[in-house]
């Protein structure tokens, strides 16, 4: 009997040692990033005869594009952690881009009111874009919190409505002739800096503040969170409002970078943001996920998109592969959930 207990104890200790040796999720995701980049580097030399990683211009375009998706993904990650989903991000981006661009025109509202003040042409467009994103987020959160509408349906409605408003705002016409002050927001490394600052702020908020504890608690068990005294409805409105504001910020950066506003901007960005979050380890079941993982997951997505273009793979094949990757990430998440429960 004692020998049996000793064997059981040794097995338990061995299992604990194995679990301690298990790499943190962010490290595993980072290793995946390195592996994906090396695969494209190898394929580049085989099929194109060029280096994928050593082309500065290609990497700059990839990083800038990834930054916009990343800003949205930071907000989407928080929504998914609560057990929700946000399908409206790309449409909110388009709406805010159109409104902000219209206020940032050389002969627009800002110049008409403050013609002699340098930099004031940035204030009103940015404020308007953030406020519109906030309003869209509040509507999403309120519908989900107080009408029992599933997040999928509520944000799908906003997805359609916001895109329609973006087209209606100028009857589908693009907006150009933006001020240099506004265009600076999308120039150089500014989008990357904005993305990293946003990611750092919400990494700290989720890990070290009550806001983060409430967000994870709601995603893990909404009823338990409500019983423990958390105002679930109010907190969900806050989370969706933050996601809306970040979509608005992404719209501002996108229009400033393109020096134009178009109703078709941000098409499919919501799916890329969700993919970046899921690839980065955020669980669609809620209650699990980190901003650091989302940042790495977004970079992986950017590397893949840039790599496919580099290898001259047609866009529709890229969409097929991207869909497969999203499904694979969800399957892997389901496997992790079962492993935790069985442990």
Q: Is residue 232 assigned to a domain?
A: yes
Residue 337 is assigned to a structural domain of this protein: no
Over residues 282-290, the mean pLDDT reads 85
Residue of 142, 172, 174, 173 lying closest to 157 (CA atoms):
142
Token pair in block for residue 227: 């019983």
- pLDDT (tens digit per residue) in 30-49: 888 898 889 888 988 888 77
Within a domain: residue 38? no
Domain range for 314 is 60-329
More confident residue, 24 or 317: 317
Q: Report, as an integer, the average pLDDT of 52-79.
A: 87
Domain-located, residue 5: no
For the chain, the distance separating the N- and C-terminal CA atoms, rounded to the nearest angstrom, is 25
The reply to whether 17 falls in a domain is no
Digit-coded pLDDT (tens) for 151-178: 999 999 999 999 999 999 888 788 888 8
Please state, in angstroms and as integers, the Cα–Cα distance from residue 130 to each residue in 10, 91, 112, 318, following that order: 58, 14, 21, 32
Tell me the whole-structure pTM to 2 decimals. Answer: 0.86
Query: Which pLDDT belongs to residue 11?
Result: 42
The CATH number for 282's domain is 1.10.3470
Rounded to whole angstroms, the Cα distance separating 60 from 246 reads 22
Q: Is residue 334 part of a domain?
A: no
**Residue whose pair of structure tokens reads 């020096």 in the numeric block:** 259
Phi, psi for 81 (deg, rounded to 5): -60, -35
- How far apart CA 26 and CA 294 sit, in angstroms, is 9
Task: Give me the mean pLDDT over the 254-259 stretch.
Answer: 91
Structural domains counted in the chain: 1
- Residue pair 296/276 in contact (Cβ under 8 Å)? The answer is no
């Amino acid at each position: 009997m004692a020998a049996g207990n000793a064997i059981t104890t040794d097995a338990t200790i061995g299992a604990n040692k194995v679990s301690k040796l298990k790499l943190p999720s962010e490290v595993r995701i980072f290793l995946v990033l390195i592996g994906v980049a090396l695969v494209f580097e190898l394929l580049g030399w085989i099929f194109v005869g060029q280096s994928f990683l050593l082309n500065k211009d290609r990497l700059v375009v990839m990083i800038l594009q990834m930054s916009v998706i990343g800003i949205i993904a930071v907000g989407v990650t928080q929504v998914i952690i609560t057990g929700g989903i946000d399908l409206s991000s790309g449409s909110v981006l388009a709406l805010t881009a159109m409104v902000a661009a219209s206020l940032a025109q050389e002969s627009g509202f800002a110049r008409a009111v403050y013609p002699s003040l340098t930099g004031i042409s940035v204030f009103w467009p940015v404020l308007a874009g953030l406020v519109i994103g906030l309003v869209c987020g509040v509507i999403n959160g309120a519908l989900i919190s107080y009408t029992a509408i599933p997040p999928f349906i509520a944000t799908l409605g906003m997805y359609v409505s916001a895109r329609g408003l973006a087209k209606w705002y100028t009857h589908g016409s693009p907006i150009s002739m933006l001020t240099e002050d506004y265009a600076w927001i999308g120039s150089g490394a500014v989008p990357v800096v904005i993305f990293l600052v946003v990611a750092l702020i919400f990494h700290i908020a989720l890990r070290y503040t009550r806001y983060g504890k409430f967000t994870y608690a709601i995603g893990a068990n909404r009823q338990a969170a409500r019983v423990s005294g958390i105002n679930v409805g109010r907190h969900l409105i806050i989370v969706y409002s933050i996601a809306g504001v970040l979509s608005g910020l992404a719209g501002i950066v996108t229009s400033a970078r393109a020096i134009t506003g178009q109703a078709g901007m941000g098409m499919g960005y919501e799916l890329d943001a969700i993919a970046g979050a899921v690839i980065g380890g955020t669980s669609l079941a809620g209650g699990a996920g980190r901003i650091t993982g989302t940042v790495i997951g977004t970079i992986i997505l950017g590397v893949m998109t840039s790599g496919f273009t580099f290898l001259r793979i047609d866009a529709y094949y890229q969409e097929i592969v991207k869909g497969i990757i999203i499904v694979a990430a969800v399957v892997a998440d389901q496997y992790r959930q079962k492993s935790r429960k069985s442990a």
